[in-house]
Amino acid sequence: RKEVEQDPGPFNVPEGATVAFNCTYSNSASQSFFWYRQDCRKEPKLLMSVYSSGNEDGRFTAQLNRASQYISLLIRDSKLSDSATYLCVVLSNTDKLIFGTGTRLQVFP
């Protein structure tokens, strides 16, 4: 079983839609959780951290469920510019970042 698993997608949604991605992790001792965004042929960039209480940044909401060992990312009012691959990232108990393979989102007009 992979340490971090994501549905590769693609998720094809119209502009204005709400879309959610989940990510599961296998190591219950994992410390911190993040979502990175990666545009086609570009480098990954930190989108947001995921806190136990959940956190929101504009149209983006991230949540953590430690009991079920998954994190989620919700995007409201999708924009064309949201089209990208979203990487779920987990900081292990050995202080290493473990990257998922990514979920591809395509927003169409």
10-69 positions binding other proteins, by CB under 8 A: 32, 34, 41-46, 49
Q: Among 50, 100, 103, 105, which residue interacts with other proteins (rule: CB under 8 A)?
A: 100
User: Residue 28 CA to chain centroid, in angstroms?
Assistant: 18
Identify whether the C-beta of residue 104 lies closer than 8 Å to the C-beta of residue 12. Answer: no
Using rule CB under 8 A, residue 1 touches other proteins:
no
Q: Is 98 in the site for other proteins (CB under 8 A)?
A: yes
Per-residue tokens: 103: 């979920």
CA distance 67 to 64: 9
Residue ranges in contact with other proteins by CB under 8 A: 4, 32, 34, 41-46, 49, 87, 91, 95-102
